[in-house]
């Protein structure tokens, strides 16, 4: 019996030793650096990143188990500090952000995390896709560009700062601030009335859009504070399925060209529950946009909610199915506006402004088909963007008496048609009632009596428009 027992012990020992090198070999594939860029496996272990990921993980940097606000416990978090970011507001943290992006982009349900205790300065950067699904860019601290044109690297684009390109299913969110440092850009002498004695000097006047999404889809931007952009605060170009909610956008009323949210060539957009104050359009809708739903947005000061400008340089512009509902516009140069250039082509159709409250607003309701950013330098042209099917319902509040509260300046050759007015009641914020709204070549119907009355809106269809023109839309 002793000999068999010894043989058994020897066999067990031999088997154990034979397993040792295999276990060591397995561990050699999970080096510390690689381990930090992986996915969570069953049981919470972190596994190496997939080989077929669109962006290779960097050689340095580690992930963190810090849980940012609003994040899922299942997400894998990449703190920019783990990739070398300092966050003192002075050090250039660009490369750390790029490295963190490459790592997060390669992992499903990843979060690039900007912690709340830092101010991170980065230069103009493109964050490219495609990335693995479920990517979140979480800003809980402050992220900002260099301070003005004098500090802007000469090699960097002056057209844009942060660009998110070719992404699907990405979320930009957080409890922090994206700070634009736009003050010195606004003061350039080429900006409107910023030259000597209030002049506007000629020459290049490039200023960066703060955040741009380009050729991307299924996007969410929410809960951030974005402020003091050199130019547009956030822009969506050639995108689809965009959801914006809970944004706070702020810049001074004197800051030029600082549109809050701008969209162009973009479809299926929702903008909800946001507050925007700036020096230009609160929300601007450019050419190529359709299926846009805006609800519970507060604007002002600024230039109100605008469709356009459209048709610049004799271009074609098509905008359709836009709804604005439950909005508030305060202390603004315009309320709800459609603006097109002479000489353009295309159409604006199926537009609804419903339940909009105005407070001390000039040009509360305006269609301007003679828009010209350089007054006196635009030629009269016969072609125009065709405006039809615009509804104004339950538009109430007060207006600045320096301008009539309603202004319909439609094209000589292509009248505005199917304008519907219902429950429009606008009173002077101060001073006497202005009871002479302006109309030119505008046709539609008043469902109810308006205050002030608008007798210049013509009934029916114009005789000159026997059939709908070929719009190209």
Residue in 143, 151, 148 with CA at minimum distance from that of residue 127? 143
In sequence order, the 6+-apart residues with CB closer than 8 A to the CB of 171 are 135, 136, 137, 219, 220, 221, 222
- CA terminus-to-terminus distance, the chain: 95
By the 8 A CB rule, do 459 and 333 touch?
no
Place of tokens 């479809």: 267
Q: What is the CA radius of gyration of the chain?
A: 28
Active-site positions read 303
- Token readout for 386 is 């065709």
Instruction: Give a three-class secondary structure readout of 91-151.
Output: EECHHHHHHHHHHHHCCCCEEEEECCCCEEECCCEEEECCCCCCCEEEECCEEECCCCHHH
By the 8 A CB rule, do 415 and 465 touch?
yes
Residue in 209, 216, 259 with CA at minimum distance from that of residue 237? 216
- Token readout for 90 is 């002075």
- DSSP structure string for 377-390: -----S---EEEEE
- DSSP structure string for 434-466: ----EEESEEEEESS--BS--TTSBPS--TT-S
Q: How far apart are CA 8 and CA 12, in angstroms?
A: 6
Q: How far is CA 25 from CA 18, 38, 47, 241, in A?
A: 12, 19, 15, 47
Q: How far is CA 6 from CA 3, 291, 365, in A?
A: 5, 81, 98
Label the pairing between strands 248-250 and 267-277. Answer: parallel
Residue 84 CB-half CA count within 13 A = 16
Q: How far apart are CA 379 and CA 392, in angstroms?
A: 31
């Amino acid at each position: 019996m002793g000999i068999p027992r010894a043989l058994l012990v020897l066999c067990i020992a031999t088997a154990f030793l034979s397993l040792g090198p295999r276990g060591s070999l397995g561990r050699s594939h999970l080096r510390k650096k690689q381990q930090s860029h992986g996915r969570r496996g069953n049981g919470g272990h972190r596994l190496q990143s997939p080989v077929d990921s669109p962006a290779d993980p960097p050689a340095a940097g580690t992930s963190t188990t810090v849980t940012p606000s609003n994040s899922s416990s299942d997400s894998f978090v990449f703190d920019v500090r783990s990739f070398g970011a300092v966050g003192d507001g002075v050090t250039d943290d660009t490369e750390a952000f790029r490295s963190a992006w490459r790592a997060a982009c390669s992992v499903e349900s990843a979060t690039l995390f900007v912690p709340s205790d830092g101010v991170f300065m980065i230069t103009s950067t493109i964050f490219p896709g495609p990335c693995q699904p479920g990517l979140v860019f979480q800003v809980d601290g402050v992220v900002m560009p260099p301070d003005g044109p004098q500090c802007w690297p000469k090699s960097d684009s002056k057209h844009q700062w942060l660009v998110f390109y070719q992404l699907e299913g990405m979320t930009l969110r957080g409890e922090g601030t994206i700070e634009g440092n736009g003050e010195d850009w606004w003061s350039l002498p080429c900006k409107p009335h910023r030259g000597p004695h209030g002049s506007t000097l000629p020459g290049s006047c490039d200023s960066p859009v703060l955040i741009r999404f380009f050729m991307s889809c299924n996007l969410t931007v929410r809960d951030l504070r974005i402020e003091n952009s050199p130019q547009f605060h956030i822009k969506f170009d050639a995108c689809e399925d965009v959801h914006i909610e809970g944004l706070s956008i702020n810049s001074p009323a004197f800051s030029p060209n600082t549109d809050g949210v701008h969209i162009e060539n973009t479809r299926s957009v929702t903008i909800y529950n946001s507050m925007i104050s700036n020096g230009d359009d609160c929300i601007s809708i450019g050419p190529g946009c359709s299926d846009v739903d805006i609800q519970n947005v507060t604007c002002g000061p600024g230039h109100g909610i605008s469709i356009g400008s459209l048709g610049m340089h004799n271009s074609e512009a098509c905008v359709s199915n836009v709804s604005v509902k439950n909005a508030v516009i305060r202390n603004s140069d315009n309320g709800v506006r459609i603006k097109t250039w002479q000489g353009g082509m295309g159409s604006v159709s199926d537009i609804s402004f419903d339940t909009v409250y105005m407070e001390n607003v000039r040009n509360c309701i305006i269609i301007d088909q003679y828009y010209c950013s350089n007054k006196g330098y635009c030629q009269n042209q016969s072609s125009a963007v065709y405006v039809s099917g615009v509804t104004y319902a339950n538009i109430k509040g007060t207006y600045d008496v320096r301008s009539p509260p309603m202004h319909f300046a439609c094209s000589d050759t292509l009248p505005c048609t199917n304008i519907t007015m219902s429950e429009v009641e606008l009173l002077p914020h101060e001073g006497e009632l202005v009871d002479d709204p302006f109309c030119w070549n505008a046709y539609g119907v008043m469902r109810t009596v308006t205050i002030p009355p608008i007798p210049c809106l013509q009934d029916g269809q114009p005789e000159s428009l026997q059939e709908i023109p070929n719009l190209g839309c």
